[in-house]
Structure 1
Amino acid sequence: MTIKSRLNIIALLAIGAFFILFGFLFYTTVQINDQLDTLERVSSFAKTASELNIITEQYLAYEETRYLTTWNDLYDELEKSRTKIQDLPDRNVISNSLPAIKRAFTLIQKVKEDPEYYQDQENKEVLLERARARIRSDIQLLLSVSNRLEENRRQEIRDLQNDQRFELFILIPIVGYFVYLIISVRKRIINSLSSLLEGTQLIGEGNLESRITIEGADEHSQLADKFNAMAKKLKDHIKNEKQLRKKAEENQKRWETLVEQDPSLIVIHIQGKVQFINSGGVDIIGAESSEDLIGKSIYEFIEEAQTDQAIDQVKEVHEEGKKTVPTVYKVQRLDGEQRYLQVQAMPIKYGEELAAQLVGIDITDYVTYEEELQESLEEKSVLLQEIHHRVKNNLAIISGMMELQAMESTNEVLKDKLSDSQLRIQSMALVHELLYESDNFSKLNFKEHVSKLVKTIVQTINATASVKIDYDLENVMLNINQAIPCALIINELVTNAMKHAFVNAKKGKISISLEEKNEIVHLNIKDNGVGLPESFGFDNANTLGMRIIQSLIEQLEASIDFASGDEGTNFSITFENVQVKGIGAHHLN
């Protein structure tokens, strides 16, 4: 049972016993007081009856008038006393006796005061004697009843007092037993607390072998068990801590051995102050020993332009506990030589303090090689730009020569053929022009090329109809070995539409769309002209333009579909956007 439950039960029983004792004492006291009050009333009645008896005897003996007033006062007082004992036994006897006494006394008084009141002298004395006898007997009866009532009240008082003493005799030991229980519980609590205090002091002083022993199953016993369990866990924890510390020291020694053998820079610093540096770091910095660097600031060795960046990374490690990203720093050795180090830092515990472990790899040779490579790439970029520029110029010269040849020729068929060839050369020249103007020599935005190419075709061909060009073009990046065949296909299809689709028509429209979905390029060229002949097909194509288209489709590994009717012709070309190697593409990979 817990101390709380035990104390609650004892307290409840003690309070109950107290209330029972108090209630009993209060009840018996009230009863005794009631009996004493009744006794007082009965005694007063008996006293008045006794005095009335004396006055009656004196009046009957001396027949003096002075006794009448006293007798009447006593009788009235007796009547009042009678009303106060109406709740007692024998009240009927008292109630019947008092009126009889009054009547008998009144009869004697009248006979004495008025001799003529009763004429029969012979019976008058007999009547008076009977009246006197009646008064005496009734008064004696009243005295007897009042004495008996008085004795009964006294007996009841004695009985109540005896009951009170008896029950006190029982209740007082019970209360004493509760007091004993309270004292016992108090003593047990004090002893338990003393044991707990002594045991905790021993444990607090480091005696983890000490155990607290308290019998029972109360809170103190449970607390003692908790303390014992805590001491055992603490002992085991300290044992494990010692083992871990020993293991950590062994790991520290192994780590120091490995670190000393590592040619990289390994530094442990606290807020930038060097606490440890390995042999590899000493060699990289150009010091004679680690003692020359301990206590110095890492910012002393970093180029001034990178100091703020280094400070921010130190704060990131120390204040936020984050691992930094690898960063290249330009470091100056003690002998003045500059080296490049790729450095990364992470938070660690160094002793009892938060520190940062910094690992740096000397990448000076790599940086030097990268700079040389960058210079070489810049030279190649200039060379490629010059090549594209020259190719574009040469193609422009060829195109110009064909244009002059066509202007001098009188053969219309030859003019058309020269014009077609000129457009094909211009298509290729536009690709090289875009590459020359671009920073990227491997890919170009084909959307820009389509609009420029179609504009050139429209300006070159003198169509009989007014042709409107609608564009729905997305940004599609193509390398040169796909861009040139695709440009030539657009040239052939748009040229063919401009020449043959709008015969005898005043207006026409050509719609060109370009999009890429999941690395698949979709090119659509549609006109609203007269359509193709029913016998048209790529398998039996007999024109140079269609044979060129067929060859270019094979080169792109594309598919081409067409639909033709009264509403015009629609060509749909689909191919995969890939890095195609070939002449002029050796630099892509």
Structure 2
Amino acid sequence: MVESEKKLLLILSGEAGETHRLGSLLSSWGYLVEIDPWGESTLQSGRPLHREGSVADLVLLDTRATRNHGGPDVLATLLRACQGLPLIRLVSTDEDPRDLPEKASFQGCLEFTAGAAVVRQTLHLALELFEEQQRARSLSERKEAILRALPDPVFVITREGHFLEAFAARPELLAFPLEALEGISLADLFDADEEERILDIIALALASKETQIFEYELAIAGEARWFEAQVTPCDPEEGTVLAVAHDITERKEDDQTIKSLLWEKELLLHEVHHRIKNNMTIMTSLLALQEGATENVEAAKVLRDARGRLQSMAVLYAQLYGSRDFRRISARDYLESLVETICEALSIPPEITLTATADDTFVDSKTLSVAGIIANELITNSLKHAFPQGRSGTISLSLLVSSDQDCITLQVRDDGIGIPPGLVPETSPGFGFSLVRTLAEQEKASLELTQGQGTSLTIRFPRNSSPDSP
């Protein structure tokens, strides 16, 4: 047999006749057999040594004979000496094999009178079982070493919320001492609602066979701390999970600090936009007063145009003041407010209709500010030149997102008399068109002029200059 090669067997027994018969049988199979009567040599050396000077590979122990010869203490000493070795218990025919010594661990049980086939099979199974136990013990020790080396506490918990095992390289992160944690339940750590929530998460992990992540708060040494737990099914059949708890208290505190700083920033921006809005209102009023006081028609016209441009910006800051997001605002809300302001400021004649259309999307405030100034400029220009001598008509304003989401398109169109021959807006030296061109270039926007049954000017702003809608 392969397992007999160089195997050192030690028999601890006082039954001379039966022991020698068994020893002869084992020797005939190639085992190196040593008999230690009553285990006296083993008691002296403290280890079951073979005559070769090496520790035996397998020990056959007659528990009744050694106990009767030296008493329970002697048997207990022999069992301790044989720890870590494959051990077979030898029994007589009149002995109950179930009568095991306390805390004894055997890999097999064999009667002295057993036949050769039974003896051979018992030895084979005992050695095989011992090797499996050693492998399992090694894996268990390796697992425990890994778990104890982890910086985060690790727990084995049942579906009912009972702690079976606990590992912690940092015991200060535990609510209870490590040795006391095993055997307690979630109910000892949390209130009823939190316990129920965690039990539901454990049940979900077992049912889905997937890791579940959640956060919880727990008092450690009188101080509230936050943890992020990863719950992974350990043995779904037994209903246990492996829970790793990572201390995120500092992260929570940092998050709270960031939220506080952001709140302060929003408060400051809110106040800044409020003051800008008020200042623009004052400036608009001053321009209106100056316009009413001047007798120079051209000067009054310049002041009125400046007031319109300022009002288009004031509308934006009014929107920002009422918004929680200072980076982007609703295009539709802004356009509606802008049209209302333009109608009030320019006193549009009743025979001219001003319409506005906008997608319900969010656009960054910088782009909307530019779009508002351009829209004000073009609408003012249409009112001045497109409808002479009380002519009726329509001015249409739209702010739309292209179907491919690449750009935002501002279009101002009227059905008036059109641009006079010889006037080229792209090269016109007039302040209005110059302002439109300059603002469009700053935003990398394109300009497109269309004539025929009126005038249409289209400005396309690249989408990357405007954040996506939420």
Deviations 1:353-404 (A, max 9, x none): 2301111100111111111111111111111111111111111111110001
Distance 1:316 1:530, change over 3 A: same
Residues 321-340 of structure 1 aligned to structure 2 (within 5 Å): 321-333=208-220, 335-340=221-226
Amino acid at match of 2:253: T
How far, CA to CA, are the matches of 1:278 and 1:442 in structure 2? 48
Q: Which residue pairs with 1:536 in the alignment? A: 423
Distance 1:577 1:321, change over 3 A: closer
Deviation at 1:344, TM superposition (A): 1.5
Q: Which residue pairs with 1:519 in the alignment? A: 406
* Residue 145 (structure 2) pairs with residue 268 (structure 1): no
Question: Any conservation in 2 of the 1:267–1:275 contact (CA below 8 Å)?
Answer: yes
Q: Which of 292, 306, 330 pairs up with 1:407? A: 292
How far, CA to CA, are the matches of 2:438 and 2:129 in structure 1? 80
- Which of 1 and 2 has greater Rg? 1
Q: Which residue pairs with 1:449 in the alignment? A: 334
Q: Which of 317, 335, 341 pairs up with 2:227? A: 341
Q: Which of 349, 358, 365 pairs up with 1:473? A: 358
Amino acid at match of 1:298: L
**Aligned residues between the structures:** 340
Distance 1:441 1:246, change over 3 A: farther
TM-score by length of 2: 0.67
Amino acid at match of 2:290: Q
How far, CA to CA, are the matches of 1:505 and 1:441 in structure 2? 42
Secondary structure (helix, strand or coil) at the match of 1:353 reads coil
How far, CA to CA, are the matches of 1:469 and 1:269 in structure 2? 70
Deviation at 1:478, TM superposition (A): 1.6
Amino acid at match of 2:224: Q
Deviations 1:32-51 (A, max 9, x none): xxxxxxxxxxxxxxxxxxxx
Deviation at 1:460, TM superposition (A): 1.7
Question: Any conservation in 2 of the 1:492–1:545 contact (CA below 8 Å)?
Answer: yes
* Residue 126 (structure 2) pairs with residue 256 (structure 1): no
Question: Any conservation in 1 of the 2:205–2:212 contact (CA below 8 Å)?
Answer: no
Question: Any conservation in 2 of the 1:302–1:329 contact (CA below 8 Å)?
Answer: no
Distance 1:244 1:410, change over 3 A: farther
Q: Which residue pairs with 1:314 in the alignment? A: 202
TM-score by length of 1: 0.54
Secondary structure (helix, strand or coil) at the match of 2:316 reads helix
Deviation at 1:247, TM superposition (A): 4.9
How far, CA to CA, are the matches of 1:541 and 1:453 in structure 2? 26
Higher helix share: 1
* Residue 375 (structure 2) pairs with residue 490 (structure 1): yes
Q: Which residue pairs with 2:112 in the alignment? A: none
Residues 51-66 of structure 1 aligned to structure 2 (within 5 Å): none
Question: Any conservation in 1 of the 2:339–2:356 contact (CA below 8 Å)?
Answer: no
Q: Which residue pairs with 2:265 in the alignment? A: 380
Distance 1:365 1:240, change over 3 A: farther
How far, CA to CA, are the matches of 2:136 and 2:173 in structure 1? 29
Question: Any conservation in 2 of the 1:303–1:331 contact (CA below 8 Å)?
Answer: no
Gaps of 5+ in 2: 1-116, 118-126
Gaps of 5+ in 1: 1-209, 211-238, 582-589
Question: Any conservation in 2 of the 1:471–1:512 contact (CA below 8 Å)?
Answer: yes
How far, CA to CA, are the matches of 1:314 and 1:542 in structure 2? 74
Question: Any conservation in 2 of the 1:531–1:568 contact (CA below 8 Å)?
Answer: yes
Secondary structure (helix, strand or coil) at the match of 2:212 reads coil
How far, CA to CA, are the matches of 1:540 and 1:294 in structure 2? 84
Distance 1:286 1:315, change over 3 A: closer
Q: Which residue pairs with 1:422 in the alignment? A: 307
Deviations 1:273-325 (A, max 9, x none): 1111112363311544x22111101242236653331121122234x144353
How far, CA to CA, are the matches of 1:505 and 1:525 in structure 2? 20
Residues 14-33 of structure 1 aligned to structure 2 (within 5 Å): none
Secondary structure (helix, strand or coil) at the match of 1:406 reads helix
Residues 87-486 of structure 1 aligned to structure 2 (within 5 Å): 247=135, 249-270=137-158, 271-280=160-169, 282-288=171-177, 290-302=178-190, 306-318=194-206, 320-333=207-220, 335-349=221-235, 353-464=238-349, 466-486=351-371
Secondary structure (helix, strand or coil) at the match of 1:415 reads helix
Deviation at 1:541, TM superposition (A): 1.1
How far, CA to CA, are the matches of 2:264 and 2:129 in structure 1? 64
Q: Which residue pairs with 1:174 in the alignment? A: none
Distance 1:501 1:245, change over 3 A: farther
Question: Any conservation in 2 of the 1:345–1:357 contact (CA below 8 Å)?
Answer: yes
Aligned identity (percent) is 25
Amino acid at match of 2:456: N
Deviations 1:451-510 (A, max 9, x none): 211222122223456211233321232212211111111110111111211112342101
Amino acid at match of 1:274: F
Higher strand share: 2
